Amino acid sequence: MRRFLYKIQSEGLYNTLFGISEEKKKPRTAPESKISSNLLENVVVMQERLKGSSDFNVRELEIGGVKLDIFTNEGMTNIQTVNDSLIKMVDHFKERNDATAEEIYQFIETKMLFAAEMKDVYTFEDLFKMMMSGFLIVLIDGVDHAISMGAQGFQFRSIAEPTSEANERGSKEGFTEPIKINMSMIRRRIKSDALHFEMLKVGDTGQTDVCLAYLDHVVSPKLLSSIRTRLSKIDFKLILNSGYLIPFLESVKRSLFSDVGYTERPDTVCAKIYEGRVAILVDGTPFALVVPYLFSENFQSIDDYVHKSYYATAIRCLKYISFIITILLPGVYVAMGTFHPELFPPALLFNIVSSQETTPFPMTIEALIIFFIYEIMREAGLRLPRPVGHAISIVGSLVIGDAAVTAGLIGSPMVIVVALTAISSFVVPSLQEPAAFLKFAFIIIGGTMGLYGIALGSLIVMVNASTLTAFGVPYLSPISPFSGYSMRDIFFRAHLKTLQKKEVRIEELNGVHIDSQE
């Protein structure tokens, strides 16, 4: 009984009654098995493990009297490279029948230059990891380890313009799926030995490559430690997307805003790294994560630094206003129409009243319906094939824009509010999730409690955002807590000559308290 009560206290009542015990939560892993010097034994183990999977190829060779097997993954290894290596070996040892395993091994280690990366592998687990990453594996009879050679030749999407972050005058390169390509894109832009890539493996089954990219002399060691700690707690078997890591990296579980940013642009990543942040690249995803990510960064883009400062400032302010319009305009409109019509200018009020005369629903319900229809159309437009996309836009404009208004289901001012809100939401796409939720929340609050409710709701959102810290950095920094010199690039963009005088470092913002143990 006492043990039962203790269990409730430590694990909670739900877990005690319905949950899985701690022991059962540990994954079953086989003990690591070492590679032997007997080629036949190794081949048997390989065949047992691979179970005849058809994407693996094995080539048995005898070179200079020594037997060796070459294992490759079809589709991931460059066949030309394999052939070249074989030809070279055959050519070198063609006159000899008495070569030793050691000689073959040394030849491969020292003379084969086609592979820039070459690594000795001592266990089968490591062997499979390398083989499934596109490495060529050589097992030599008489050598108690395998040689993995970088001969990747898998097909991947070429570097293209980023689809989610368009820009006017910046680079048109975006990340692709292979992590090595992405690392090279960053390296090309920061030609400094301080740029460090730290590789990790995440996911028991997937063993996905995850790379932490940072500048040694700028990043906070506590920040790095904190990131490693959080990544180590990931219990997923398979990481298919960088988004899987986000919940584990976020500081607060339930918050409207995310303190983990993402980008498809290498130039943006470089800029963030330079401020002391850490970029997290995930193999198989063209989106890099950036931590810590602050609220003000949602309104910054690479284009801001190619335009004149006055124009960039105007666009920056426009983005802030657009965000406020996105979350507040529908709610405020509904609140004013329902509780405070005296705030409308008379001519506008007459138009609204005229349009509302024939509509069957209250303004709140009308707003909810129309935004719900808009969300359906937006989601449909995202998923459907391109040939059909044109038809959806026509249907959408007809349904909402014309037919609904003509039929008297909704008023035309409401259509304008929806349209303006929708367009504004695309100005700051990174805040689309909280914006979508807040939009609906404020419509309901405005329709039930008027501007008083909107004011209270806004205050609660503000407190929520103020309390959030991104790895110890206040989320609303440098607005609050206020950091004077960092404000040069928040609501307005100071001249580049001014910006260059003192660089922004994330660690130096006011109120920063990074805890390496979190």
Partner 1 sequence: MVQYGKVSSMQIVLTLVVCKLFAVITYTPVYTEKAEITAVFLGGVVSTLILLAAATPVILLFRKTQDDILTLSYRLNPGFGFIVFILLLIGVLAAAVDTMVDFQFFMVNAVFPDASRFIILITLMIAAFYASLMGLEGIARTGTILFLIVLIALVTIAFTLHNRINLLNLKPVLYEPVKSILSVAWQDTARNMELLIFMMVVPNIKGKAAKSLLGYILLISVLLCTISFLVATVLGEFTFRQIFPFYMIASVVDSKIIRRFDAIHMTLWVITAFLRTSLFLLTATSLLKRVLPYHIGKWSCLFSSVVILVAAGFLSGGLQSSNLLYDFIGKGYPFVILIVLLPIILLLNLKRISPSASKNREQQRKEEKPE
Partner 2 sequence: MKKTIFIVLSVAMIFSLTSCFPSHELKETAIVQAIAVDLTDEGYELTLQFYAPKGSGATTAIDTSNNNANIVVAKGKTITEAVDQATAIQGEYIFTGNNRLLIIGERFAKEGVESLFSYFDRNHLTTQNIDVLVSEGPAKEIVSVNIDQGILAAEMLEKIVENCEENGMILRCPYYMFSQNMFQYEGSSVVPVIEKTGGQEEQSEDQGTESGDSSVSESIQSVDVVKIEKTAVFKDYKLADIVDKECSQGLAFLSNTVKEATLVAEDANGHLSSINLYSCDAKLKPEFQDDQITFVLQIKSKASIDEVLLPAGEYTGLDELEIFAQSAERLIADECTRAFNRVVKEDQSNILYLGDLIHKNNPKLWTAIQNDFPAHLEKLHFRTEVDVDITRLSIEANQAQNKNK
Task: List residues binding partner 2 (CB under 8 A).
Answer: 254, 337-342, 344, 346-347, 349-359, 362-363, 405-408, 411-413, 448-450, 453
Q: Output the CA torsion sign for 222, 228, 232, 237.
A: positive
Question: Does 343 sit near partner 1 (CB under 8 A)?
Answer: yes
Please select the residue that binds partner 1; options are 466, 499, 516, 518, rule is CB under 8 A: 466
Residue 345 exposed, middle or buried by CB count within 10 Å (0-12, 13-18, 19+): exposed
Question: Does 12 sit near partner 1 (CB under 8 A)?
Answer: no
**In a 3-state reduction of DSSP, which class is residue 442?**
helix
Question: Measured from the CB atom, is 281 or 468 closer to partner 2?
Answer: 468
Pairing outcome for strands 135-140 and 195-202: unpaired
Please give the span between the terminal C-alpha atoms of the chain, in angstroms, as a whole number: 34
Question: Measured from the CB atom, is 36 or 338 closer to partner 2?
Answer: 338
Instruction: Using only the alpha carbons of the chain, give its radius of gyration.
Output: 30
Token reading at 293: 């990510």
Question: Does 340 sit near partner 1 (CB under 8 A)?
Answer: yes
Q: Min. distance of Cβ 450 from partner 2 in angstroms?
A: 7
Q: Min. distance of Cβ 268 from partner 2 in angstroms?
A: 34
Please select the residue that binds partner 1; options are 181, 231, 353, 449, rule is CB under 8 A: 449
Q: Is the peptide bond before 31 cis (omega within 30 degrees of 0)?
A: no
Q: Min. distance of Cβ 459 from partner 1 in angstroms?
A: 5
> Which of 286, 290, 320 lies closest to 164 in space, CA to CA?
286
Q: How far apart (Å, rounded) are the C-alpha atoms in residues 500 and 323?
A: 29
Q: Min. distance of Cβ 15 from partner 1 in angstroms?
A: 21
Question: Does residue 477 contact residue 293 with C-beta atoms inside 8 Å?
Answer: no
User: What residue 256 binds from partner 2, partner 1, none (CB within 5 to 8 A, per partner kind)?
Assistant: none
Question: Measured from the CB atom, is 33 or 354 closer to partner 2?
Answer: 354
Place of tokens 């940013």: 261
User: What residue 363 binds from partner 2, partner 1, none (CB within 5 to 8 A, per partner kind)?
Assistant: partner 2
Q: Min. distance of Cβ 355 from partner 2 in angstroms?
A: 5
Question: Measured from the CB atom, is 453 or 474 closer to partner 2?
Answer: 453
Question: Does 7 sit near partner 1 (CB under 8 A)?
Answer: no
Question: Does 212 sit near partner 1 (CB under 8 A)?
Answer: no
Token reading at 155: 């097909």
Question: Does 467 sit near partner 1 (CB under 8 A)?
Answer: yes
Question: Measured from the CB atom, is 28 or 254 closer to partner 2?
Answer: 254
DSSP 489: B
Q: How far apart (Å, rounded) are the C-alpha atoms in residues 194 and 187?
A: 11
User: What residue 510 binds from partner 1, partner 2, none (CB within 5 to 8 A, per partner kind)?
Assistant: partner 1
Token reading at 273: 């790294």
> Which of 118, 116, 279 lies closest to 185 in space, CA to CA?
279
470 to 499, contacts with partner 1 by CB under 8 A?
Answer: 474, 476, 479-482
Tell me, rounded to whole angstroms, the distance of Cα 507 from its chain centroid.
Answer: 23
Please select the residue that binds partner 1; options are 6, 122, 372, 452, rule is CB under 8 A: 452
**In a 3-state reduction of DSSP, which class is residue 491?**
coil
Please select the residue that binds partner 1; options are 162, 337, 434, 450, rule is CB under 8 A: 450
Q: How far apart (Å, rounded) are the C-alpha atoms in residues 155 and 159?
A: 12
User: What residue 356 binds from partner 2, partner 1, none (CB within 5 to 8 A, per partner kind)?
Assistant: partner 2
Q: Min. distance of Cβ 265 from partner 2 in angstroms?
A: 36
Q: Min. distance of Cβ 439 from partner 1 in angstroms?
A: 19
> Which of 356, 341, 396 lies closest to 374 in space, CA to CA?
396
Question: Does 362 sit near partner 1 (CB under 8 A)?
Answer: no
Question: Does 372 sit near partner 1 (CB under 8 A)?
Answer: no
Please select the residue that binds partner 1; options are 276, 434, 453, 478, rule is CB under 8 A: 453
Question: Does 462 sit near partner 1 (CB under 8 A)?
Answer: yes
Token reading at 246: 């986000």
Place of tokens 């000559």: 497
**Contacts of 474 by beta carbon, 8 Å cutoff, 6+ apart:** 466, 468, 480, 481, 509, 510, 511, 512
Which helix or strand (DSSP H or E) is residue 383 part of? helix 363-383
Question: Does 350 sit near partner 1 (CB under 8 A)?
Answer: no
Q: Min. distance of Cβ 454 from partner 1 in angstroms?
A: 8
> Which stretches of the chain bind partner 1, using CB under 8 A?
339-340, 342-343, 345-346, 449-453, 455-456, 459-460, 462-464, 466-467, 474, 476, 479-482, 510-511, 513
